[in-house]
Amino acid sequence: MVYETSYESGRRPFKPDLARGKWEKPTDYIYACFGLALKLDLFIVSYWFYFDMGLFGMLPYYIYMAIYLVPILVIHSFMGQFSSSGFISAFRVSPFFKGMGYVSLALSLASLLFYGIFAIVPLIFIMHSLRPTLPWSCEGFKPEENVTTICNMTDTQVQTVLSSENESDIFEMTVVHVPSVLYFRQHYETLRSDFYMGERPDYELSWQIAGFSVVIWSIITFIFLKFSETAKFGKLLRYMILSTLALLLVCLVRFMFLPGALDGITHYVKPRMDSMVDGGLSMTIIVLQAFGSGWGSVMALSSFNNFKTNIMSYSWIIAFGQTLVYILFGLVTFMLDHYFETMKSNSFSTYVEVNWVVYLSSASALSTLEVPNLWTIIYYTMLLMASIIVMITQLFTVFTSLFDEFELLRNYKQQVTVGVLCFLASASLFFCTNHGVMYFSALSLDAIMIHSVMHLLLLLAVLWVYGRERFQRDIEFMIGQPFASWKIFILRFIAPLFLLYTLLIGVFISSMEHAFSSSVMLHISLILVLVPMLFIPGYGVFIMCQNTGGFCDRFRRACRPNDWYPTEMEDRQQYEEVVGNADITHQLYEVTEEVN
């Protein structure tokens, strides 16, 4: 296989954007990847199989981290840093698979449509916490008649009759509601009652939530207009992430004094064999959260590193740092969960309905503290910042990839940015409806399932099609350190097995989620998540049609790397010496002269 330029293949040559900038500090890349761990729908969509595992259940995470998380982080970082381009143009390494970049673009945009709800909910509670009396506190909340809450459960006991398929098997259970959950449901007339006990309600748009959505997207637009430069954006991310983690630690310390909080911490750190078993199953999915809402985020973020950045050590730091973020939020969740456990009576027939404990139920717990308004503002400001960090980081990688791939758009960066944000703000209004709020997790799980497929294809493209020897040579040249062959063996043979296992688990969980979701959400998932996967082989066929010769010749030429070399002149010249003139066609020098 020889190295070809786009001139030889008949395609448009890649012209790097030499004005795209670099991180102000090398650690800004690490902070940006830490921000990906603030993707807190992890604590929503995986509630039923994650929250009761605790710290011991996370031990399998470290095994998966060593086997395939860190190695795949290295590959993502390698492609972005070596090519100095986003997740579309980086597939110059093998143009046949370039459709993966466009699929990653679709997944990133799809995730941004529903992720706004995680910023809207904190903003709602922040704004209403400015009232003298919190409307979800026991003093300010007025429940409907015959509704038992944690505020009046000692005064009235409303029995909910549940039955199994056997009509003779009937038992009663007291459902105790949390005022803050009921308060959020009041934004929708159809959610005021227990909708899940009957048929699904008709669609209903909450104009108040839609208004908060406009506010969130306006804030994001302001950020990109004010901090569009890479150095400024990296500095903003750094301070936002440090502030978010600082507020999280403050809330963590304060929650320790809630009734039952210490029991929650004990339950979290207590060694249990069943936690290990459950963790072996669920951690395969949670590990994939390290890449954020979209698939190519790490690839695009690493493209702003200096060429010699040691991505090996950075990948380990990122993996352990993200684990720390998960543990901190896990501790908060367990303390809040056990706070509500203390409100149950000794009878097994009492059930406290805790929904979205980190986002919704937590407001009622905060209302019991001294100076509840202040603590509510602090806590939900932390959640709001975490959500905005995830959204702007995802958008930053999207814009980076678009401007790297399409040279024409570089002259209209501000117009493109505002246009994309307006489109997302309009399309995301669906997730301000009652169905969007209830069933968005199905779309999130579908995206995670597709991530496993994308990782498998990436291993195929880089380690098999591009080749083990070339990958090892390139990464050693880039970081200036040897890259052991046993690491490549793990990536080629061991990691794919775990990714296949992760894919099967993802299919199972996603199918279960859709069983409780609406048919419209299934159609949205097909359009936004599953159908774009067809673009990968479709684009590969398109590339083959542009070449000449028989089928095998077309396929080989479509898989050959095009314009695959460092963008900086000094690094490029050194790379040409390493590769050797025998492996590089003379047109490479023509492209070098034209670009410069």
- DSSP notation for 232-246: HHHHHHHHHHHHHHH
**How many Cα atoms are found within 13 Å in the side-chain-facing hemisphere of 142?**
1
Give the pLDDT score at 349: 65
- Please enumerate, by residue number, every residue annotated as part of a binding site for Na(+): 35, 37
Give the pLDDT score at 546: 84
Alpha-carbon span 289 to 276, nearest angstrom: 19
For the chain, the residue count is 596
Q: What is the pTM of this model?
A: 0.90
In a domain, 143, yes or no: no
What CATH number does residue 505 fall under? 1.20.1740
Alpha-carbon span 459 to 491, nearest angstrom: 7
- If one counts the domains in the chain, the total is 1
Give the pLDDT score at 163: 43
Give the pLDDT score at 197: 46
> Cβ(482)–Cβ(476) under 8 Å?
yes
Give the pLDDT score at 593: 40
Burial of 39 (0-12, 13-18, 19+ CB in 10 A): buried
In a domain, 92, yes or no: yes
Percent of the chain that is helix, strand, coil (3-state, to 5): 70, 5, 25
Alpha-carbon span 466 to 214, nearest angstrom: 45
Distances (CA, A) of 513 to 71, 288, 507, 525: 30, 18, 10, 12
Alpha-carbon span 576 to 550, nearest angstrom: 31
> Cβ(563)–Cβ(6) under 8 Å?
yes
C-beta atoms surrounding 435 within 10 Å: 22
Element (H, E) at 162: strand 159-163
> Cβ(21)–Cβ(229) under 8 Å?
yes
- Please enumerate, by residue number, every residue annotated as part of a binding site: 35, 37
In a domain, 365, yes or no: no
In a domain, 200, yes or no: no
> Cβ(544)–Cβ(96) under 8 Å?
yes
Residue 102: which domain range? 26-131+207-248+270-326+371-557
Distances (CA, A) of 440 to 193, 338, 504, 570: 20, 26, 21, 48
pLDDT tens across the length of the chain (596 residues): 345 565 555 567 888 888 889 999 989 999 999 999 998 777 664 444 455 677 888 888 899 999 989 999 999 999 999 999 999 999 999 999 999 999 999 989 988 988 899 999 999 999 999 999 999 998 888 877 777 788 876 654 444 444 444 444 445 667 788 899 889 988 887 776 554 444 566 778 889 999 999 999 999 999 999 998 999 999 999 999 999 999 999 999 999 999 989 988 888 888 888 777 777 777 887 888 888 888 899 999 999 999 999 999 999 999 999 999 988 988 898 898 888 888 765 555 677 777 788 898 999 999 999 999 999 999 999 999 999 999 999 999 999 999 999 999 999 999 999 999 999 999 999 888 888 787 777 777 788 788 899 999 999 999 999 999 999 999 999 999 999 999 999 999 999 998 998 888 888 877 877 777 777 777 788 887 878 888 999 999 999 988 888 888 889 889 989 889 898 888 888 888 888 744 544 333 333 444 44
In a domain, 440, yes or no: yes
Distances (CA, A) of 254 to 132, 262, 384, 522: 22, 12, 19, 41
Q: Which residues pair with 171 in a beta bridge?
A: 162
In a domain, 220, yes or no: yes
C-beta atoms surrounding 594 within 10 Å: 10
C-beta atoms surrounding 8 within 10 Å: 15
The position carrying tokens 């929904």 is: 355
Q: Which residues pair with 163 in a beta bridge?
A: 170
3-class state of residue 589 by DSSP: helix
- Token representation of residue 488: 């490549």
Helices (H), 199-353: 207-226, 230-255, 261-269, 273-287, 297-302, 311-341
In a domain, 53, yes or no: yes
- Token representation of residue 339: 């706070």
In a domain, 191, yes or no: no
230-255 and 27-36 are packed helices; what angle lies between their axes, rounded to 10 degrees?
A: 50
> Cβ(248)–Cβ(379) under 8 Å?
no
The position carrying tokens 């929503």 is: 44
Alpha-carbon span 351 to 302, nearest angstrom: 47
- Please give the full DSSP string across 82-122, using - where no structure is assigned: HHTS-TTGGGGG-GGGTHHHHHHHHHHHHHHHHHTHHHHHH
Of 41, 125, 121, 38, the residue nearest 364 (C-alpha): 125
> Cβ(300)–Cβ(80) under 8 Å?
yes
DSSP 582: G
> Cβ(185)–Cβ(401) under 8 Å?
no
